[in-house]
Amino acid sequence: MHGHQAVRDAIREHRLLCVNDTFRFLEWSTPDGCATCRPAINYYLISTWPKLARDDPQSRFINERSHANIQKDGTYSVVPRMWGGETTADELRRIADVVDKYAIPTVKVTGGQRIDLLGVRKEDLQGVWNDIGMPCGHAYAKALRTVKTCVGSEWCRMGTQDSTQLGKDLEHAMWRMYAPHKVKFAVSGCPRNCAESGIKDVGIIGVDSGWEMYVGGNGGIKTEVAQFFTKLKTAEEVMEYTGAFMQLYRLEGWYLERTVHYLARVGLDYVKRRILDDEAGRKALWADLQAALEGEPDPWFETRRAAVDTRQFIPILAAATGAGTHTTEITA
């Protein structure tokens, strides 16, 4: 038996770069691991050694392998990314055309200010991504999902800060960020808090003097109210403090541990010491996160270039008869 921390320590101290090396080094009881340990180890590898560790698709859940959420009837849901919840007429037109072309039965606005296309057949996924031409929303992944915003000072009479722009900036900076669990942000332009920043992993609220930052909230089975973390003056500070907190969580959180549970384990005071009191450490964490995300591919774009194994998108029958480019189906 190996605990989460022991596995993380071994990966870091012994520069383990792939799942099988980790199993061998730790003399794992089952040589190929199982559905519980493989995703955790894969996450620890890629978060500890970005750009170096080998991401193993077979160690990811089916949703992450397919880059879409499997639904109860075996079809998938597709959620394109809408930066800070904003969209355009052109994007909406493309979404509408995709819905017609692929006969997608349900279109739903999510609670995270995005559009969910439900009932997409697996063999249509690549076509849908291609035709929509929008970035992946990672709605299926242990990663940054939505950054919810209110309209803020640009349009709202009550707005004191430009929450939409800050939300878009945060999302552009941190999308493609895998984490121990799903991560959601929100930015509200004034204390009326229309973006519900109080129940997000990082919630930002505009005030007259700048911004208030809250951490460790979530909706879910047990709603957790985020804790006040600090007051900041500028949007640049919000980016830095949010990025540093996320990187600390990425490096220290255990797989499937939400921020609220990470904070309960290590203590809010510890995180404050690391982020608020240690300026050099905070800047280093933020720099490390930016370096880790630099050049990371959009998984939908990656599949458009056929840089990943696309066998999983070919129906079994077509594969068996030789149609398509491969002959086997990856099992779920």
How far apart CA 185 and CA 188 sit, in angstroms, is 10
How far apart CA 216 and CA 231 sit, in angstroms, is 16
**If binding is defined by CB under 6 A, does position 312 make contact with ligand SF4?**
no
- Find the shortest distance in angstroms from Cβ 166 to ligand SF4: 12
Q: At what angle do helices 279-293 and 235-252 cross, to 10 degrees?
A: 80
**If binding is defined by CB under 6 A, does position 82 make contact with ligand SF4?**
no
**If binding is defined by CB under 6 A, does position 167 make contact with ligand SF4?**
no
How far apart CA 332 and CA 317 sit, in angstroms, is 16
How far apart CA 77 and CA 129 sit, in angstroms, is 12
Share in percent of the chain as helix, strand, coil (round to 5) = 45, 15, 40
**If binding is defined by CB under 6 A, does position 207 make contact with ligand SF4?**
no
How far apart CA 144 and CA 257 sit, in angstroms, is 14
Residue with tokens 């270039």: 305
- Find the shortest distance in angstroms from Cβ 151 to ligand SF4: 5
**If binding is defined by CB under 6 A, does position 156 make contact with ligand SF4?**
yes
- Give the residue with the Cβ less far from ligand SF4, 189 or 299: 189
**If binding is defined by CB under 6 A, does position 119 make contact with ligand SF4?**
no
**If binding is defined by CB under 6 A, does position 113 make contact with ligand SF4?**
no
Residue with tokens 């080094």: 25
**If binding is defined by CB under 6 A, does position 132 make contact with ligand SF4?**
no
Query: DSSP string spanning 9-71?
Result: HHHHHTT--SHHHHHHHTT-SSTT--TTHHHHHHHHHHHHSTTTS---GGGS-HHHHHTSEE-
- Give the residue with the Cβ less far from ligand SF4, 77 or 188: 188
For β-strands 144-149 and 115-120, DSSP reports them as unpaired
Among 85, 189, 253, 299, binds ligand SF4 (CB under 6 A): 189
326 near 314, Cβ under 8 Å?
yes
Among 2, 4, 192, 311, binds ligand SF4 (CB under 6 A): 192
Using CB under 6 A as the binding rule, the residues of this chain from 133 to 152 that contact ligand SF4 are: 150-152
Residue 274 carries which DSSP code?
Answer: I
**If binding is defined by CB under 6 A, does position 78 make contact with ligand SF4?**
no
> How many chain residues interact with ligand SF4 (CB under 6 A)?
13
Name the one range near ligand SF4 by CB under 6 A: 63-71, 73-81, 182-190, 241-249. 182-190
**If binding is defined by CB under 6 A, does position 84 make contact with ligand SF4?**
no
- Find the shortest distance in angstroms from Cβ 187 to ligand SF4: 9
**If binding is defined by CB under 6 A, does position 158 make contact with ligand SF4?**
yes
Among 66, 193, 247, 303, binds ligand SF4 (CB under 6 A): 193
Applying CB under 6 A, which residues contact ligand SF4?
A: 150-152, 156, 158-159, 163, 188-190, 192-194
